[in-house]
Every structure is written in structure tokens, then in C-alpha cells.
Structure 1
Amino acid sequence: MNIDTTDNIRNANERGLKEECRRSIRRLSMGSSFIPEGRTILDDDQNRVAQNDIEEGLELGQGNFSKVREVKSFRRNSMGASICSSTVSESFQPCVDPESRSYYYAVKKVRKDLSEARIHNATVDLVVEAQFLTSLSHQHIVSLEGVGDDPGSKDFFIILEKLDRTLANEIFAWKKEASVLKKIHCRDERKLSIKRRRDKHIEYARDLSSALAYLHDKNMIFRDLKPENVGFTHDNMIKLFDLGLARELKEERKVGRDKYLLSLCGTRRYMAPEVMKGSPYGLPADVFSFSLLLWEMVHTEKPFRNLDAKQHERALVLWRSRPKVSGDVPRAVKSIIVKSWNNDAKNRPRMIDVFDSIH
């Protein structure tokens, strides 16, 4: 195959990818309750950023489909003018907190080491995530600060509020801290320290539930709730991020009460039984996932940690087994965990009720 033929195939593939991204965005806006038609990221270039207008720093993390790096500076002030620069400048303007020396922003891109098919799917998901974040605003959902100037290209990227660490990192640190607290000799002091620590973890969980309740109020399902998709800012604000698999639930896919025709999606350890079985599902699937995440936050252990995929599926779907809730977990929290992981989706509470119950 000669070079010209290869280039033609590459160009055709990229045109096809851009067109699929455009179709995906149009589908999102059709019949949407919160994405106005004609005002999508394809129609509004207010927050567009060119690659050569940002200076990237250290890599912050890498997922299955994307990687994230810090943004050290901008050459323009369309984003965060009060933080970076008050005037447009041809030189790069640093975007860093002078006290903590923490950068404010991060750039998220699709990994280049994936197969052609996976790059294609990941790019569509990234464009979808950009559209959702453009249309959402909540203090516990990561904020979108800008989008690449060519949605749908393989080089597309998004600029996000920077997160310092994930909940997975934090839970690991909590577990180490718990082992230290157990060595405190004074029993009363030890109990008080453990209680304060657990109360803080529950407060984080309540903040996170408020973000999910906000999404559910817009009839949006997150679909991949796990510690790796929850992060913290440098000042310890918990944030939900990575909305690439989120979907707005629309009437044309509805087949019953809280049941929609959706693809099998998410991370096995946190999947609801109906999702794992490939049945129609809806917002209660997020509630189930949150119950396992809440359990993990108060126990600092992975749910179903000793089970392989087959064992987990049998335990969850056939035997309806769940992790054991420790006796020292506050009664209200234990109650909401148990109610939220009910095997029958229609018997789980709404996320707003979960939020109201956590204290």
C-alpha cells in the first residue's frame, strides 16, 4: 500500500469519526431537558482552545482510554481570566495558585497507544463528556474550562478543573491511617479519633450523593461510579468526574418503570445486578453502585475483594450476597446502604432520599 493510499484511508477515517461525533452530539440535544438544540459545543466556540495555546506539564494519570496532564500556562485568557491573565497576551501566562503552587487546570486527551477502534470509541466518549460538562454546573462535579478547537478529531482534548488525587488514592491513605489509629493506647481517645475520621468520610459521601442527585434530577445516569472516577481538589473538595459513559434517559428508550434499553456498561465490582444480567436498567443502578462505594468509604476495603469475575457474578445475581456492614457504622448510614443495594431496583431509594438520609 503506497503512502497516498494510506493517507487517504487515514483522512477518510478521521472524517468518519468527526461525523459520528457530530451525530452523537445532535442525538444528545434532541429531546433533551437541559441541552438546548442549536447551542451544543458544535455551535458555540466561545470556550475553544487551540493546542498551541496551552503549555502542558506533568502527567497526572492515565485511564483505560485517556490520559491527563496538568496545564502550566495559557497563551490566551478565554478561560479563567481572573486566574491566569487579565489581558490577552502573546506570551504564556501561568495558571497556578501562588500559595499552594498547585496548577488550576488539567488537559484530558485520548491515549494514542490504543487500537484504531478504541481510539474511535474513546474520542466519541470524550466529545460526549465535553457536551455534558458544558451543560452541567454543580460544586461536586468537575468543571469544564475549555474544549479543543476541533471536536471529533483524534487530537481533540478538553480542559478541566485539576484534581489532585482520586478517591481510590484517598481510601488507600485512609486504610493506612486507620492502622495507625488502632495503636493509640487510650481507648477513649482511640474511639474518638476513629469516629471523627469516619464522620469526615461520611461527609464526603454525602457531598458525592448531592452530585448524583443533581444528575438524576436531570434524568441523567452516570453508569460508572467507582473510586477512580471520584477526585479531590487541592483544598479537599470532592468531585465526580469522567462523564464519558453518562447518558440522559429519554422516553424512546423507556420500557418500564425506571427501566431503559441501555448497553451493559460500568465496572464489574460496582455493577447493579440488573446491569450485570444485561436487563433494562435506569437511575436505581447508580443508587446500587453508590451503596457499594459508600460501604467502601466507611470500611476502607474493596467490596467483593476476594472474588473473581465468575464468583462475583454468582454471588451478586444468584445468591444476592452483599458485603458485611460493620457494627460500628452509624445506624442511618447502615440503613441507607442496605436499602440502596436491594436486589430489586424498584425498592431502592431515590438518590435525593439517599442524600437526605446520610448524616
Structure 2
Amino acid sequence: SFEDVTLSRSSLGWWREIGVGQFASVYEARTKEGERVALKLWHRPVSEKTYSGSPPSMDTLTFMTEVSLLLAIARESSMLYQHKAHGLADVDGGVQGLRGFIVTELLPGVNMQQRFHSDDPVTMPLVRKWAKQLAALLAELHRIGVIHRDVKASNVMVLDATNDLNLIDFGLSLRSSGGPLEGKLTTHQSSLGVGVLGYMAPEVFRGDPYGTPVDVFAYGVLLSKMLRQAQPLDTRESLLRWLLCAPFELLPCAQQWSYAVFCQQCSVVPRRSPAELSSLVRWCCEHDAARRPRMADAVEHLKNV
């Protein structure tokens, strides 16, 4: 259950918006003790109760799911960013109802999408480091039974001082009710299509049941983006990538087929990329989920990179 609290700018010192999502906004805030924290505040009211047998709203579901996942992560892993508090907040004197909030540690830095568009260069040694760290984070997430389902550049933080990575935003994540996930296709599968086109695995786009391989696919897509940041595609490679994207953009009536073609562009990486990383991109972006590696396999693959 969630404790009703009064959350105001005075109780957390000050707020500065640092991100906006579909269900909530994220603020940098400061506690009365002076600690800088991240505050995620839902846009719309959240309620533990349902009326007349009606199901809970999507806002309530996403809030309760994210809280339960962050509590599980706090209990079972020290690799991922940590939950500090949560509750239902009376932000505006009850005018809009109680809104869910979550307080976590503040990760000082920018997300990877912002880093890609900054003046700071992305070098190949940095790509190797990021490939290993992100693989390890996802392997740890899968070890404790969580599918992230929304792995993308904007959900990976690059820390200022060290260029280390951490995963954020577990609002769309799922957890196995039976504990750690086992195998490539898990008993805790879903056919709910969530995620972003381009990072979305083919089985999600088709509406098929899926499991941890969706995170593996998105990891491969993001690794290919890292490689293209370090070594931009030449003219021939850029043309090939455009040709693979074109059917999906131009043939909406044949999207099932064209998305399969579109997904092939994910594995287009610069020819001068390290062979170990190029092969990992292709392995992770396999159209058939059963042929993709587990994230633990990717960690092993990267040990000598």
C-alpha cells in the first residue's frame, strides 16, 4: 500500500524538470538534508482503489508496477540505480487528486541520446566500455527476473565524471511472478506491444508472445547506433541502410513484411568496426528470437573485446 503524503516544493527544497514522459515528469530536487535526488511525479491521479469493479487506470498500473520493480531491484541488486521513497502526493491541495511519486538517487549526467547530439566525441574505446557495461546491466536485470521492454538511448544514463552507464525508467518493465527468468522465451510472456519502432523486436511488432530476447534485440540496435557515432557510415553503407528503411516508410499496407526488412538496417554498421562488436550486433538483431543470445552470453562474448 502507499502512504498519502503532502509533497510540495518546500518539502523537497526545489524542483527542476529534467525529463517528461507519457505518464510522468522527472525533476531534480533537494531534500531538507541537502541531498540531491530524482523525483518522478505522475501527471494524473493515482488510486489504490477501484470502483464498481472497474480495472485500475493505466496511470495506477504503471505507478504500482514501477514501485514494485524498484523495490525488488533494491532488495536483489546493487548494480542499478536505487529507490529511496514513494507515495501518493497531494501536490495542489487536492484539486487534481493524489498523484503517484517515486524518489530515487539522482544520476548526474545526460542520457545517451543527448550525449550523441553533444560536442563530446564518442570514441571506439568508449563504445567498447559502454557495450560491456550495458550488457552487464541487462544481464543483471534478467537475472533478477525483469524484462525492461524499453531499452533505448534516452533510457540509458551516461554519468558525468566517469562516462559509466546506468539504466533508467522501469515504467514499462515486467517481472516474472516465479522469480528469475529462465531460458530465452520465458513463462512470463506478453503480447502487449510496447516500446519504440526501430528498437522494437519483430515479435513485439507482430503481437506475438515475447520475453527477455526483446531487450537483447534493443541492445543490438543501440550498440549499432554507438558504432555509427564512433565511425559514421560511408556513402554505400548509408544508401544500404536507407533502402532497408524505405519499405516500412513507403508501404504501410505491408507493414508486417516491411518491418522485417526495416529491422535488417539495425545490423548495418561501419565496415571498419571491430569484428567482435559487429558480429554481436548481428547476433542480437536476429529476426528469430530463439537465435539471439542471452545477455549473459553477450557479457561472455565481450570479455576479450
**Structure-1-length-normalised TM-score:** 0.64
- What is the SS of the residue equivalent to 2:209? coil
Partner of 2:168: 241
Partner of 2:52: none
Larger radius of gyration: 1
Partner of 1:202: 128
For 1:317 and 1:286, how far apart are their aligned partners in 2?
A: 17
1:127 Cα deviation after fit: 2.4
Deviations along 1:163-213, whole A, 9 cap, x unmatched? 33111101222xx555xxxxxxxxxxxxxxx8xx21112212211111110
Partner of 1:56: 14
Structure 2 residue 221 is matched with structure 1 residue 295: no
For 2:216 and 2:125, how far apart are their aligned partners in 1?
A: 21
Partner of 2:264: 321
Deviations along 1:310-333, whole A, 9 cap, x unmatched? 487544325762341212211111
For 1:156 and 1:273, how far apart are their aligned partners in 2?
A: 33
For 1:318 and 1:70, how far apart are their aligned partners in 2?
A: 41
Q: 1:72 aligns with which of 20, 30, 39?
A: 30
Structure 2 residue 59 is matched with structure 1 residue 122: yes
1:250 Cα deviation after fit: 4.6
Structure 2: gaps spanning 5 or more residues: 46-55, 91-96
**Structure-2-length-normalised TM-score:** 0.74
Partner of 1:158: 102
For 1:320 and 1:225, how far apart are their aligned partners in 2?
A: 16
Deviations along 1:289-327, whole A, 9 cap, x unmatched? 110011111212799786565487544325762341212
Amino acid corresponding to residue 61 of structure 2 in structure 1: V
For 1:160 and 1:313, how far apart are their aligned partners in 2?
A: 39
Cα contact 1:140–1:210 (8 A) shared by 2 = no
Cα contact 1:72–1:94 (8 A) shared by 2 = yes
- What is the SS of the residue equivalent to 2:38? strand
- What is the SS of the residue equivalent to 1:55? coil
Structure 2 residue 292 is matched with structure 1 residue 353: no
1:285 Cα deviation after fit: 1.4
Amino acid corresponding to residue 206 of structure 2 in structure 1: K
1:131 Cα deviation after fit: 1.4
Q: 1:169 aligns with which of 83, 101, 114?
A: 114
Partner of 1:10: none
For 1:249 and 1:210, how far apart are their aligned partners in 2?
A: 19
Amino acid corresponding to residue 332 of structure 1 in structure 2: E
Call closer, same or farther: CA 1:126–1:319 in 2, change over 3 Å: closer
1:239 Cα deviation after fit: 1.0
For 2:137 and 2:172, how far apart are their aligned partners in 1?
A: 16
1:277 Cα deviation after fit: 0.5
Call closer, same or farther: CA 1:294–1:257 in 2, change over 3 Å: closer
1:248 Cα deviation after fit: 1.6
For 1:141 and 1:49, how far apart are their aligned partners in 2?
A: 27
Amino acid corresponding to residue 141 of structure 1 in structure 2: L
Structure 2 residue 31 is matched with structure 1 residue 105: no
Call closer, same or farther: CA 1:312–1:328 in 2, change over 3 Å: farther
Structure 2 residue 211 is matched with structure 1 residue 272: no
Cα contact 1:140–1:240 (8 A) shared by 2 = no
Deviations along 1:25-66, whole A, 9 cap, x unmatched? xxxxxxxxxxxxxxxxx38x7xx9751432232111212221
- What is the SS of the residue equivalent to 2:84? strand
Amino acid corresponding to residue 331 of structure 1 in structure 2: A
Structure 1: gaps spanning 5 or more residues: 1-41, 75-92, 96-103, 114-118, 179-193
For 1:112 and 1:56, how far apart are their aligned partners in 2?
A: 21
CA RMSD, aligned part only? 3.2
For 2:190 and 2:69, how far apart are their aligned partners in 1?
A: 20
- What is the SS of the residue equivalent to 2:13? strand
Call closer, same or farther: CA 1:320–1:124 in 2, change over 3 Å: closer
